[in-house]
Amino acid sequence: MTTAAQIIDRSMRLLGALEPGETSTDDEYANGLIAVNGMLGSWNNERLMCYALREESLSYTAAVSATIGPTGTLVTTRPVEVVQAWVVDGSNSYPVLMISDEEYGAIVDKASTSTWPTKANYKASMPDGTIYFYPVPSAAGTMSLLTRTPLVAFAAITDTVSLPPGWEDALTYNLAVRLAPEIQVPLPQEVLGLARAIKADLKRMNSKPMKAYTELANLVGRHSANILTDEP
């Protein structure tokens, strides 16, 4: 777990504004909090940026689906992805396999019921995401979800966040880039280079390759031909 204060202090050290072991002043923390929240606001406008892992509890009913978001069954920040899920029954937790849209679409009898679901599919629709259960639970229950969610603003420097690998560096180095002109210190070129490289790496990691397809076979029929001789 990382606090906003730790991110601000490390950014200040990267700029040479703090010595190892030193911490920021109250004014520096206040300025750093404004800067990091402004950066997070900008990143939330970038499709491939700004995700944190969060564990939350969803109370579901005997229904095929539940919604997650600002107006959902679970009122929270709408997740980008549900990474893992467990049905909680007393002191026991039973894993729920998260499946793709294609895998869920291939299920023939989506109305099949059981005591609790063993599989789930999440669609990150707007404004609320929807999680579909299979089999459909026959009774109400509780599901624990580990979600990948856009980072929200820090309310205080003591706020903590659980970050996936690489995200702490992304916040720290890019905050240093933003703070340098505000506190009027030179920005080391190594810091600028790493800030750009780390952010680019995260965008590549969060991108999903597009699946290419063609309907050419449907247009020209099923006959094959030798492309060198243009003969069947």
Domains of the chain: 2-49+152-206 (1.10.3230.20), 53-149 (no CATH)
Residue 158: the pLDDT is 95
| Residues 35-82: tens digit of each pLDDT | 999 998 888 767 666 577 789 999 999 999 999 999 999 999 899 889
Residue 165: the pLDDT is 81
Residue 116: the pLDDT is 94
**Tokens 């690998």 map to which residue?**
165
pTM above 0.95?
A: no
Spatial separation of the C-alpha atoms in residues 140 and 59, rounded to whole Å = 7
Q: Is 230 left (phi over 0), alpha (psi -120 to 50) or beta?
A: left
Residue 47: the pLDDT is 62
Summarize the confidence of residues 105-120 as an average pLDDT.
96
C-alpha torsion 219→220→224→229, nearest 10: -130
| Residues 136-149: tens digit of each pLDDT | 999 999 999 999 88
Establish how many alpha carbons lie within 13 A of residue 186's alpha carbon, considering only the half-sphere containing its beta carbon.
3
Q: How confident is the model at residue 208 (pLDDT cuts 50, 70, 90)?
A: low
Phi then psi for residue 123, to 5 deg, are -115, 120
